[in-house]
Structure 1
Amino acid sequence: MLRHRFGMEEIVTKLHILRDEFALMHETNPIEHVASRLKSPDSLAEKIQRKGCEATWDSISAEITDIAGVRVTCSFVSDVYQVFDVLTSQQDVTLKEVRDYIVEPKPNGYRS
Structure 2
Amino acid sequence: MDGMDWGNFLLPYEQAVEELKVKFKTMRAELKKREEYAPIEFVTGRVKRMTSILEKSKRLNVPVENIERGIEDIAGIRIMCQFVEDIRRVAELIRQRKDMNVLYEKDYITNFKDSGYRSFHMIVEYPVQTALGQKLVLAEIQIRTLAMNFWATIEHSLNYKYRDSLPEDVRARLKKAGEAAFILDNEMSSIREEILEAQISFEDHSKIVQTCLSCIQALYSYHRVSEAIQFQRKFNELWEQRDMVGMKQLEEVLIAEIKAAKKSIGQQP
Q: TM-score range by the shorter chain?
A: 0.7 to 0.9
Runs in 1 of length 4+ with deviation above 6 angstroms? Answer: none
Q: What CA distance in whole angstroms lies between the structure 2 residues aligned with 1:49 and 1:42?
A: 11
Which residue of 2 is the match for residue 78 of structure 1? 85
What is the identity, as a one-letter code, of the residue corresponding to 1:47? Answer: K
Which residue of 2 is the match for residue 55 of structure 1? 64
Which residue of 1 is the match for residue 19 of structure 2? 10
CA contact (8 A) 2:28 2:40 kept: yes
Instruction: Show the 5 A alignment for 1:36-47.
Output: 36-47=45-56
Q: What CA distance in whole angstroms lies between the structure 2 residues aligned with 1:45 and 1:101?
A: 25
CA contact (8 A) 1:101 1:110 kept: yes
How far did 1:18 drift?
Answer: 0.7
CA contact (8 A) 2:24 2:43 kept: yes
CA deviations 1:34-72 (Å, max 9, x no partner) are 11121112322333344443222xx11232122121111
How far did 1:100 drift?
Answer: 0.8
Three-state SS of the structure 2 residue aligned to 1:36 is strand
What is the identity, as a one-letter code, of the residue corresponding to 2:25? Answer: H
1:99 to 88, 102, 106: 106
CA contact (8 A) 1:15 1:87 kept: no
Q: How many residue pairs end up in the alignment?
A: 110
Q: What CA distance in whole angstroms lies between the structure 2 residues aligned with 1:5 and 1:11?
A: 10
Q: Where do 5+ consecutive residues of structure 1 fail to align?
A: none
Query: Per the alignment, do residues 52 and 104 of structure 1 end up closer, same or farther by CA in structure 2, a change over 3 Å counting?
Result: closer
Please tell me whether Structure 1 or Structure 2 has the larger radius of gyration of its CA atoms. 2
Three-state SS of the structure 1 residue aligned to 2:103 is coil
CA contact (8 A) 1:12 1:70 kept: yes
TM-score with structure 2 setting the length:
0.38
Which residue of 2 is the match for residue 27 of structure 1? 36
CA contact (8 A) 2:25 2:42 kept: no
How far did 1:90 drift?
Answer: 1.1
What is the identity, as a one-letter code, of the residue corresponding to 1:95? Answer: V
CA contact (8 A) 2:39 2:90 kept: yes
The answer on 1:109 being equivalent to 2:116 is yes
CA contact (8 A) 1:33 1:73 kept: yes
Q: Where do 5+ consecutive residues of structure 2 fail to align?
A: 1-9, 120-269
TM-score with structure 1 setting the length:
0.85
Q: What CA distance in whole angstroms lies between the structure 2 residues aligned with 1:31 and 1:75?
A: 8
Q: What CA distance in whole angstroms lies between the structure 1 residues aligned with 2:14 and 2:71?
A: 15
Identity of aligned residues (%): 35
Q: What CA distance in whole angstroms lies between the structure 1 residues aligned with 2:88 and 2:50?
A: 32
The structure carrying a bigger strand percent of its residues is 2
